Structures are given as structure tokens and as C-alpha cells.
Amino acid sequence: MTGMAGVFTYRNNELYCDQVPARRIAEAVGTPAYVYSGRRIAARYLDFDRALGNYPHLVCYSVKANSNLSVLRLLARRKAGFDIVSGGELFRVLEAGGKASRVVFSGVGKTSEEMDYALRSRIFLFNCESESELRLLSERAVRLKVRARVALRVNPRVGAKTHPYIATGREEHKFGVDMAAAEDLCLRAQQWPGIRLAGLSCHIGSQIAALAPFAEAVGKLVSLARRLQRKKVPLEYLDAGGGLAVAYRGEDRPPSIHDYGKKLLQCVRGSGLKLLVEPGRSIVADAGILLTRVLHIKTTGGKKFIVVDAAMNDLLRPSLYGAYHEIRPVLRNRRREVVADLVGPVCETGDFFAQNRKLPAAEAGDLLATFTVGAYGSVLSSNYNSRPRPAEVLVEGRRWRIARRRETLRDLIRGESLP
């Protein structure tokens, strides 16, 4: 069953995460709660590593998808690299025991402070997105008496079919340097004292369910790298970004990690370039569920609403992208289904997890699970409506532990002061 990823299964009509009954976790830590399968996350990371075989490569997990320390540690232990977009993410990676020498720093707006922090930590690679950024980085590095290894992020002008908010590879997007301008910029930037131009990078978007756009983008980067190498720019790395889609619905059939890897290798083989990838969603998405308890059932205006204790502040994807997440009961004890909206307590009409959907005919007190929320779930949560953020739990086989405790009321006002 999709979204179940082989780790979420029903035994005697009760939902398990690996060997642990979801109900037991909900009873112990309360709801809402995110629950992750450590086994699944590790397996997906290893799938990427294996898919690139013995071709020189580094799989840099994109921290933004799920930055919980326990998730990062689990990957660091398996020698993963990390793709970060802020000083905060670098801090998390280092706290979790990740190696700076396997960190790539992406993002269109790095500050001098973030650059200094990353330079002092001796990260592996900066993915730079503009001339202005390259100049600043060179300056900061000279000041710190170091040299930054840099890949220029180019915009390969590849349109990939995905939600408009998460498409990044077209000319109208803010990301990267134009293909046309990249060559000249590389030739000039090569002379700057604080940086060493060592590669090219791209990222064409997220939740991309076809392989052709990846191949097109990487193909363009390889040709550009060849032109630059002929002009004596010694490029060593090609970073293909992230973006591989996952299955949110039963009928979704995204390409496998294996086929994705094979496709990338076809494009880079013979180029002499080492390959980096930055997968986020495809490593963690289907390893996570959000447990929530039904508070009330109400009918108004002829419409049925199931009101649960999780809301858009806990899981924003349905509200922000109109994203679809499967919803299943934790105890499969009611056979009936109803068409209803599943909504949270937040005071916004946009606070919904499902609209006009056939859902388990739940009653107040029932537990429900929202699937495929391991990526861009907890990380997008907020305290809106002064709601403490949910607990996060990591399951490893038959054991589980709290990876982040539920926030308290005190946490809500931390840092605030009265005159």
C-alpha cells in the first residue's frame, strides 16, 4: 500500500511503525506527534549511495526536509553528506555529529556571518548563485586566510512539472546564474583570491516525477563543464541537486532511486566529474506519519467536518500547496467511510488536511495517521495560534524514543520580555 513504505503495516487491524504499535506511542507522548521510521530513512539513504555504485560520488542529504538531530545523526553514522541552506542547518549537522568536510552550502542569500561560520568550520563546498555572492565569499575567505571551494549554481532552464512554488529551474526563477552568463563568470571568478572554482551545480525543483528533466539539466551542466575545462578551469564536481518525487497517492509511480541513479550516471560517465546529489524528500518523506486525535465531529451547512488536534501550524503542506496526504485510522475498527473535511483547530479556513474526501468514519477520541509527512512536515511547523509544536518520535525496530519533546507553554514565550 502506498505511503506505507513497508514499515507502516496493520496487524490485527492496528497500525504499526516497524514493530511498535502507533497507539502506544500516541498514549505515551500524546498527540499530535510525528513518528519516523529510522530503518526506512537509513534504507533510502543507502539506496542512493548504492544507486551511484562505485562512480565517485557523495550523497548530501538535504537537511531542510527534516532537520531533527536524531535523523541527522542516523545519517551521519552512515557517512552521509549534508546539503544545508543556513548557518542554523550547519549548526544542527555539527551538533548531530556530521562532518563539515561532507557539507555543501546552497542557497541564494548567504550572509557574511553564515559564510564565516561555514569557512571556519571548513565545509566541503559552497554552491554560489550570483556574482555578488562570489565576491563576498572571496572577501570573507581572504579575511579568514582560507580558500573556499565553490561550485557555481547555474540555472539550466529546464521546466519540470511540479507545483509552481517548488519549481526552480526556469529563467524566471530567482535561483542560479543564467547558463549564458555562467561561462564568463567562471572565467573571471577563477582569478579571485579567496575562492577556488571547483564545480557546477543545479537544482531544478522538487517532487519531480520524471527522469528526463534531470537528464536534460545534468547534460547541459556536463557540456558547460567541458567548455570550461577546455579553457583551463579545473572543474572536479557536478552537483545535480535534489528533487526526486515520492508517492503521495496510491496511483503515484515515481521513478525508483535505482533508475534515477542510473540516469545520472549515464549523463556524467566519462566527464571525469565527481557526482553530488542533494536528495531530501525522497529519503525521509515516506518514513514519517503524523498521529492526531479526533476532537469533534460536526455538520454545518450540510457538510461534515472531522476536527482533529493537529492543524496547519503542525503540518502546512495541505494548506500551502494543496498537497494530498493519505489519512488512515490507527485502529481499523470501523468499517464505514464518510465524505468529510478533516480540519484542525486553527482559526483559518485554509486549516485543513483533506477536503471532500472519503475518510474513515471516525468518532471523537479516535486516532488518525496522516502519511508521507517525514519531509517538509515538522520543519515547516510554527507556533501560530500559540500552539506548542508536536513531539517527534524515532522508531528503530522494536524500540522507540522521543527525538524532540512536545513544546510546553513556557517554550512558547521563551525569548520574550515584558517592560
Binding region for ligand LLP (CB under 6 A): 62, 65, 83, 106, 166, 203, 206-207, 241-244, 278-282, 317, 321, 375-376
Report the residue number, 313 or 400, with the smaller CB distance to ligand LLP: 313
Query: Which of 98, 280 has the CB closer to ligand LLP?
Result: 280
Nearer to ligand LLP, 234 or 350 (CB): 350
- Are the beta carbons of 131 and 185 closer than 8 angstroms? yes
**For residues 293 and 325, which CB has a smaller minimum distance to ligand LLP in the complex?**
325
Report the nearest approach of ligand LLP to the CB of residue 65 (Å).
5
- The H or E element spanning position 49 is helix 38-51
Report in angstroms how near the CB of residue 316 gets to ligand LLP at its nearest.
8
> Burial letters for 295-327: b for 16+ Cβ neighbours within 10 Å, e otherwise?
bebeeeeeeebbbbbbbbbbbbbbbeeebebbb
Question: What minimum distance in Å lies between the beta carbon of 243 and ligand LLP?
Answer: 4
Give the separation between CA 242 and CA 6, rounded to whole angstroms. 23
Set of cell numbers at residue 222: 556536463
Annotated catalytic sites, by residue? 347
> Which helix (H) or strand (E) is 28 found in, with range?
helix 22-29
Question: What is the residue whose three cell numbers read 557526482?
Answer: 275
**Least distance (Å) between residue 205 CB and ligand LLP:** 7
DSSP structural state of residue 277: E
What's the gap between Cα 215 and its chain centre? 21
**Residue 168, CB-side half-sphere exposure with 13 Å CA sphere:** 24
* Residue 160 and residue 213 in contact, taking contact as beta carbons nearer than 8 Å: yes
- Indicate the residue among 89 and 278 with the shorter CB distance to ligand LLP: 278
Cell of residue 389, nine digits: 509544536
Instruction: Tell me which residue of 139, 228, 226 sits closest to 185, measured CA to CA.
Output: 228
Kindly report the backbone phi and psi dihedral angles of residue 320, in degrees, each rounded to the nearest multiple of 5, phi listed first.
-80, -40
* Least distance in angstroms from the C-beta of 384 to ligand LLP: 17
Closer residue to ligand LLP in complex, CB, 15/103: 103
CB of 379 to ligand LLP, least distance (A): 8
Whether residue 246 contacts residue 282, with contact meaning beta carbons closer than 8 Å, is answered with yes
